[in-house]
Amino acid sequence: MSGATTASSGDHNNLRLPTPTLDAESQTLLQSISAEGGYAYARMAVLAVAGDQSAAEAARDMAWEQLHSGPWHSVLPVWRDAYSMACLHVAKIHFAAGEFGEALGALDMGLIMGGMLLRKDLHDSVLLVSSEARKMTKSLEEASGDFKGERLVPEVPVDVNEVLKILPCRSLTCKRVEKRSGLSLEGFLRDYYLPGTPVVITNSMAHWPARTKWNHLDYLNAVAGNRTVPVEVTAIISSLSS
């Protein structure tokens, strides 16, 4: 990524997140925030640019309070952009210190809760921080190769005799279901779907990298262990948990 300065794992002093949109729009955005009464936020944001972590976190907390001051649709867009700005400032400070997990957490929250103005800076920063985080652990090639880490789903051999014992009586007296390996979509539609004939399809996912990669906890930690994702709780889930 152009404009990015990186360093080895033993020297984080030269790590810097390039934020071209933030740099270009910072003054205009701070003026808009001040016009909405965010004078304290503007003061903290100026200190955050100079590397004051406490000020950056204070600005983020102020914007967070504004995001929750009423229904989401009533929140002024400028405060959503203010939250994105504060998240970028927090991420910059953590990234410069080599604290990639904390930086990713701040960036993800900016993407989830922030406005659209600084979204490209947030997205590009996530890519850069994620890249540096992988360098600190292991490369993707090492993680996806002959990996010896902990398996999430151990391979358990199937005992056919035990399976037959739990099947209902006479359940296997029907017509034998054909098994096809690597069946194409056209072949499935023509030979089985349209005639209404059952079939067992095997080896159709053998080429999926996820079959091996996603089964190792260390790989998932290296690729996405520090990411933050939104979780939506629906009325159905709420009723089930109550």
Higher pLDDT, 85 or 132: 85
Instruction: Give residue 91's pLDDT.
Output: 96
Least confident of 4-13, 34-43, 99-108, 126-135: 4-13
Closest-CA residue to 215 (of 151, 149, 145, 143) = 151
Residue 154 pLDDT: 63
Q: What is the pLDDT of residues 135-188, one digit of tens each?
A: 876 554 554 555 555 555 666 777 778 877 777 666 666 567 888 988 888 999
- Residue 201 phi, psi (nearest 5): -100, 125
Q: What is d(CA 98, CA 116) in angstroms, rounded to the nearest whole number?
A: 27
pLDDT at 134 (0 to 100): 79
pLDDT greater than 70 at residue 233: no
Is the model's pLDDT at 10 over the cut of 80? no
